[in-house]
Amino acid sequence: MDDIDRRLLALLLADGRASYAELARAVGLSAPSVHDRVRRLERSGAVRGYAAVVDPAAVGLGVTALVGILQREGAEQDDLAAALAEIEEIEDCWFVAGEEAFVVKVRVADVDALEHTLGVLRRTQGVARTRTTVVLSTRFEGRRRAPA
């Protein structure tokens, strides 16, 4: 990855819908060259995809919580991760160091829905217990940084 690739990544992070012509002007290359570079970045896994950023509250998901999951003794982490992936309300899942095995971000409509989701989590095979932190407000989220 060279400096032009890094600049392309920064530009794509700022506007994933930028055209190859726009990207080409910004980095001083031809559109076909930029197309080839972007395709190479995609194939290498440096660019994993493109997505719309949606306001959760605008789509009825007004409550966010971070839930630490303590794994049951003898449970397999891959099995637990697969079970967590099946729970629709879980938006993100991280395997972490510390007392908890996983931390998940849950988005739901309201506190009643959060209570229901926590019950589902507690009944999930491999979960010993949970520790929940309700998010009061989000100062920033999904910060994207270009590679240095």
How many angstroms separate the CA atoms of 148 and 24, rounded? 20
Whether 109 is in a domain gets the answer yes
Q: Kindly report the CATH number assigned to the domain that includes residue 8.
A: 1.10.10.10
| pTM for this entry | 0.83
Tell me how many domains the chain contains: 2
In terms of C-beta density within 10 A (0-12 exposed, 13-18 middle, 19 or more buried), how is residue 142 classed? exposed
What tokens were used for 71?
């794994």
What integer best gives the mean pLDDT of the chain? 95
Local structure of residue 124 (DSSP, 8 states): S
- Both 76 and 119 in one domain: the answer is yes
Q: Looking at the structure, tell me whether residues 77 and 128 fall in a common domain.
A: yes
HSE-CB for 110 with a 13 A CA cutoff: 1
Query: In which domain, by residue range, is 98 found?
Result: 56-134
Q: Are residues 60 and 130 in the same domain?
A: yes
Instruction: Note the pLDDT of residue 37.
Output: 97
Query: Residues of the chain with pLDDT > 70: what percent?
Result: 100
Two tokens, residue 50: 């493109």
Whether 40 and 69 map to the same domain: the answer is no
64 and 37 within one domain: no
pLDDT score of 60 = 97
In a domain, 25, yes or no: yes
Residues 67, 40 within the same domain: no
Interatomic CA distance for residues 92 and 107, integer angstroms: 10
Q: Using alpha carbons, select from 52, 49, 46 the residue that is nearest to residue 6.
A: 46
Contact between 101 and 69 (Cβ < 8 Å) = yes
